[in-house]
């Protein structure tokens, strides 16, 4: 006879929140964003070094990671589990627990995701201005005023990413949010930790083959 959940060992009460592939994506993205911000902002602050190669190579890595995540989440996952919906606002204001992602988590993902998408999209265009072993620069791809708009959008996205990354790191370090950081490192959290903000009836850990594995 199966033991009730309460009598199982601590190990058994662990649930999976993030698959290994999602954690690898997250940390590659995190490292890439930090390197991109360092190579973009440190020279502005007066630290002179050859920042262009580091910046464009890291940008290409980030673009590849974002493309991978976009394809995987739209074709092979239930993307709506992370998209903010009116129900999330209703649940949040009424103090109801969420499914896999809370409203603030969904909003952070949406806003930071849009800023990164804008930075990568404009960054891809800006690669035309860099000489690399793979292609020769073509600064006349766009006219001067269009280049200006591309640079403004890239810079605005970079500044937004700076502010949002500060908030993201701050939340991950708060003691009451530590379980989320642990789950992004090791993949798991306990049922008790999950139950604080997540309704077990709507999300109780990822299980292969479970149609509700992502929580909606």
Partner 1 sequence: MDIFRITRNAWGQETLEGISWDLLPVAFGLGVAFIVGHLIWRSLRKR
Q: Between residue 172 and residue 201, which ones bind partner 1 under the rule CB under 8 A? A: 174
Start-to-end Cα distance in the chain: 31
# chain residues binding partner 1, by CB under 8 A = 23
Is residue 139 a contact residue for partner 1 (CB under 8 A)? no
Q: Which is nearer to partner 1, 124 or 167 (CB)?
A: 167
Q: Which is nearer to partner 1, 19 or 181 (CB)?
A: 181
Choose, by CB under 8 A, the member of 34, 114, 166, 185 that binds partner 1. 166
Residue 147 in tokens: 């280049």
Q: Between residue 22 and residue 41, which ones bind partner 1 under the rule CB under 8 A? A: 41
Q: Which is nearer to partner 1, 7 or 145 (CB)?
A: 145
Choose, by CB under 8 A, the member of 11, 145, 201, 208 that binds partner 1. 145
Of the candidates 110, 117, 118, the residue with the CA atom closest to the CA atom of residue 150? 118
Residues that bind partner 1 (CB under 8 A): 41, 44-45, 144-145, 147-149, 151-152, 154-156, 159-160, 162-167, 170, 174
């Amino acid at each position: 006879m199966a033991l009730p959940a309460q009598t199982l060992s601590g190990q058994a009460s662990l649930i999976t929140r993030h698959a290994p592939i999602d954690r690898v994506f997250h940390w590659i993205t995190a490292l890439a964003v930090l390197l991109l911000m360092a190579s973009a902002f440190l020279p502005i602050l007066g630290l002179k070094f050859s920042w262009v190669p580091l910046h464009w190579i890291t940008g290409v890595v980030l673009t590849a990671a974002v493309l991978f995540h976009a394809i995987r989440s739209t074709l092979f996952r239930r993307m709506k589990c992370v998209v903010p919906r009116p129900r999330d606002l209703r649940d949040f204001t009424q103090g109801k627990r969420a499914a896999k992602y809370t409203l603030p988590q969904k909003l952070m993902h949406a806003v930071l995701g849009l800023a990164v998408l804008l930075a990568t999209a404009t960054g891809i265009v800006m690669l035309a201005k860099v000489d690399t072993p793979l292609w020769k620069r073509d600064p006349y791809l766009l006219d001067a005023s269009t280049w200006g708009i591309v640079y403004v959008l890239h810079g605005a996205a970079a500044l937004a990413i700076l502010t949002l990354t500060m908030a993201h790191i701050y939340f991950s370090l708060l003691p009451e949010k530590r379980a989320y950081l642990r789950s992004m490192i090791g993949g798991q959290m306990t049922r008790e930790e999950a139950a604080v903000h997540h309704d077990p009836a709507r999300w109780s850990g990822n299980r292969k083959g479970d149609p509700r594995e992502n929580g909606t």
